[in-house]
Structure 1
Amino acid sequence: MNWEKQLRKYAQVILKVGLNIQPGDKIALDVSEEMIPLVRILAREAYKMGAFHVRMSFSDDEITLSRYEEAPQEALSYFPAFEVQATTQAFDDGYHRLALYAPNPELLKDVDPQKISLVQKTQAAAMKPVMDYVTQNRVKWCVASVPSKAWASSVFPELPEEEALERLWESVFEATRVQEEDPLQAWKEHDSKLKKYQKLLNDASFKKLIFKAPGTDLEVELVEGHAWLGGSGVTPAGESFMANIPTEEIFTMPHAYRVNGRVMASMPLSTQGRLIENFWFELRDGKVVDFDASEGREILEEMLKIDEGASRFGEVALVSDDSPISNTGILFKNTLFDENASCHFALGSAYSENLPGSETFNAEKMREVGMNDSMIHVDFMVGG
């Protein structure tokens, strides 16, 4: 395989399909050290496409881990205000956000769950203004994943490290249509198909959805006036973009106070450097009233307590069982991929785009219509 050629094609998909780069666009890019080969290609391709400026912010797993292990407890409840101010200022200055994600599902496996919860809650509260830009599509934004050795070894533990990494790259290329002869055309056709499904579901005007499966018997009412969405999104300025690379879902807004029954997750959830496995929720009047997990229960418990909306649903999504991702048969241990192989729900904040006109709702109006609000938005999978 010609790796440089494939990386360039992947970069073009991320930039042209994901961010829909136009001449004069500015990009705020979140990356980590292992991504440098792809990041350099991305930056060059972006400038070729007419980007005005590409700004990079770096993170590192080992530095993240060292903070949990060595920093004093009181430091974990600190989040620098300037980071929030810099990000929102960048958005106001016309930057669009590209977040490259390389999960390490077991990075924090030996860290005290209460420390993880404290950092998550602090960060979520501080970054709420940034999240509002994203959930309201006020800027073009895209999330894509970049294979790392840690992620690859978690997905393919039976393979040597380098072989696992190569296999994961091949799987990512397949799932994101990079291996197609013309990836950009393939994505155009895929987006068109998702829009057809979107129209079918909107024309149906369902009042509620019923989910039945082993361990699951759940009734989910939808908010009145809900809109099903899938594929490309649009900013208030009319600029289209693809928020997730890959994406296979059609999603809408459940009523935050009218979900009842029990739901069993069908895949592990990788969150905050930990894996949560074999978990379920019992909901009454929209709120999680009971739950359990064979692994990571304490992480789940802390997550549900972050705020009132964290224990309610903000999204329900339907996904075809015939897609490039589901057809790989791989458990990616990465929500960005696994959620696109399976129907899923999200705990936490709803997307305003799923309820036309809700962008200006205050907290009281959101409660009145059943629109959930939270500092978090965490997807978990329920389909096969």
Structure 2
Amino acid sequence: MVLTTAELEKYADVLLWGLKTARKSKFKKGDIILIQYENPALPLAEILFKKIVAMGMHPVQRMGLTFGMEKGFFEEADDKQLVFIPPGEKELYENVNGRIFLRAPESLTHLKDIDPARIGTVLVSRKPLKDILDKREEQGFYSWTLCTFPTHELAWQAKTTIRHYAAQIIKACYLDKENPVQEWESILNNVHGIKKWLNSLKIKTLHIEAKNIDLTITPGEKRKWSGVSGHNIPSFEIFFSPDWRGTEGTYYANLPSFRSGNYVKGIRLTFQKGAVVKIEADEGEQFAIKQLAMDKGASRIGEFSLTDRRFSRIDRFMADTLFDENFGGRHGNSHIAVGSSYTESYTGNQADMTKQLKEKLGFNDSALHWDLVNTERKTVTAHLTSGKRLVIYEDGQFKV
């Protein structure tokens, strides 16, 4: 086993901390917790299952498709099968109170020969289920978190050994500490101070400059910076969902991306009037083009994020978006997501967020949410409503 029983116990405790922290209201006995996991993560799923039962809640477990099943599905499914939603799925989503997803991929490129449009069709068909969960979260009835379990495929794609890959997870999630939950509480408190400072600034636009980036982003009205909320273990990023209509310029992801069984490297996006007008990539360009054509919002920005290298212990490419978007290293990182936005960036009551209000404020909506990471040295300058300019991020850290 790549993680010891003691490390798995700590991992489970941190995940449950994340789930509780992410939810606006407290969990109670009788709540339903969905554990979704891929086969290699079964040892962690078993520990979580037992802990949730001991807490008086109802765990519901769902193992994901093996990569052979998933490939076979996309190869053979007809149009009706692609969009089929099993009976009971909607009912479960309407009643679930928490969800923990344990990523443990045994293949990252098994869908490379599948038409990306078919993959997009499945994602779009499941968006109504995502909308149910989003609304429940906004109302305070639901929260989610996720993590990555080390696999040989992840290690191979990251060009390292499974032992070294697992060690990076242990370090990044503070599982090498006696009380990792206490470590995460400390990070939560430290990041709170940075978010408070950022949210005190009246920012009109942000200008992001790096070797291959020249991008302007407009935060928009009624926005706030969020981060280290319990979603994602690990997570060090501080982010917001901008008004997509104010995005102009060029963004480049220097870290490769594995998505939906495909590999994309060196993707460069050019934005005009809020939408992507040009897509280039060293590898996987056609896949990227079709992903961003999935629906109307897929070619718009849904998130902008910065990671302060002082918090993140991740210092290598992990071939896993969860870790790569939280890269610390020498220069920290930034990432954008094309596709759906996060309403937790809304300064008002999320429960009051309607489709019409989202459209009015420029919160993007899409079945897609694709994080694209840049780890180059960069400067982020805030253009304030007062007319002043303020560098808020440089050399991998916030300038608070």
Give runs of aligned pairs for residues 1-384 of structure 1, distance below 5 A.
Answer: 3-19=4-20, 24=29, 25-48=31-54, 50-59=55-64, 60-69=66-75, 71-75=76-80, 77-80=82-85, 82=87, 84-91=89-96, 95-103=97-105, 104-124=107-127, 127-134=130-137, 138-156=141-159, 164-232=161-229, 242-326=230-314, 328=315, 330-341=316-327, 342-357=333-348, 359-384=351-376
Give the Cα–Cα distance (whole angstroms) in 1 for the partners of residues 43 and 169 of structure 2. Answer: 16
The secondary structure found in structure 2 opposite 1:280 is: strand
- Cα–Cα, structure 1 residues 22 and 40, in superposed 2: closer, same or farther, change >3 Å? same
TM superposition shift of 1:186: 0.6
TM-score calculated relative to the size of structure 1: 0.87
CA contact under 8 A between 2:117 and 2:290: conserved in structure 1? yes
Give the Cα–Cα distance (whole angstroms) in 2 for the partners of residues 129 and 72 of structure 1. Answer: 26
CA contact under 8 A between 1:206 and 1:222: conserved in structure 2? yes
Give the Cα–Cα distance (whole angstroms) in 1 for the partners of residues 3 and 81 of structure 2. Answer: 44
- Cα–Cα, structure 1 residues 280 and 325, in superposed 2: closer, same or farther, change >3 Å? farther
Which one is further off, 1-10 or 119-128?
Answer: 119-128
The secondary structure found in structure 1 opposite 2:244 is: strand
Give the Cα–Cα distance (whole angstroms) in 2 for the partners of residues 2 and 114 of structure 1. Answer: 38
The answer for unaligned runs of 5 or more in structure 1 is: 233-241
Give the Cα–Cα distance (whole angstroms) in 2 for the partners of residues 201 and 382 of structure 1. Answer: 21
CA contact under 8 A between 1:22 and 1:51: conserved in structure 2? no
Residue type of the alignment partner of 1:63: M
CA contact under 8 A between 1:136 and 1:352: conserved in structure 2? no
CA contact under 8 A between 2:241 and 2:302: conserved in structure 1? yes
Which one is further off, 194-203 or 111-120?
Answer: 111-120
- Cα–Cα, structure 1 residues 100 and 82, in superposed 2: closer, same or farther, change >3 Å? same
The secondary structure found in structure 1 opposite 2:251 is: strand
The answer for unaligned runs of 5 or more in structure 2 is: 328-332, 377-400
Residue type of the alignment partner of 2:224: A
CA contact under 8 A between 1:84 and 1:130: conserved in structure 2? no
TM superposition shift of 1:134: 4.8
Q: Percent identity over the alignment?
A: 25
1:197-216 CA-to-partner distances (Å, cap 9, x unmatched) read 11010012222110111221
The secondary structure found in structure 2 opposite 1:294 is: coil
- Cα–Cα, structure 1 residues 191 and 291, in superposed 2: closer, same or farther, change >3 Å? same
CA contact under 8 A between 1:135 and 1:351: conserved in structure 2? no
CA contact under 8 A between 2:100 and 2:144: conserved in structure 1? yes
TM superposition shift of 1:344: 1.0
- Cα–Cα, structure 1 residues 51 and 267, in superposed 2: closer, same or farther, change >3 Å? farther
TM superposition shift of 1:127: 4.0
Name the structure with the higher helix share.
1
CA contact under 8 A between 1:223 and 1:371: conserved in structure 2? no
CA contact under 8 A between 1:19 and 1:142: conserved in structure 2? no
Give the Cα–Cα distance (whole angstroms) in 1 for the partners of residues 307 and 202 of structure 2. Answer: 18
1:102-160 CA-to-partner distances (Å, cap 9, x unmatched) read 2332222233333333333333455443344457764121111112222222223xx5x
Over 4 Å off, 4+ runs: 20-23, 134-138
Give the paired residue count: 362
Residue type of the alignment partner of 2:324: D
- Cα–Cα, structure 1 residues 195 and 249, in superposed 2: closer, same or farther, change >3 Å? same
CA contact under 8 A between 1:258 and 1:285: conserved in structure 2? yes
1:45-65 CA-to-partner distances (Å, cap 9, x unmatched) read 3333x1321110111222112
TM-score calculated relative to the size of structure 2: 0.84
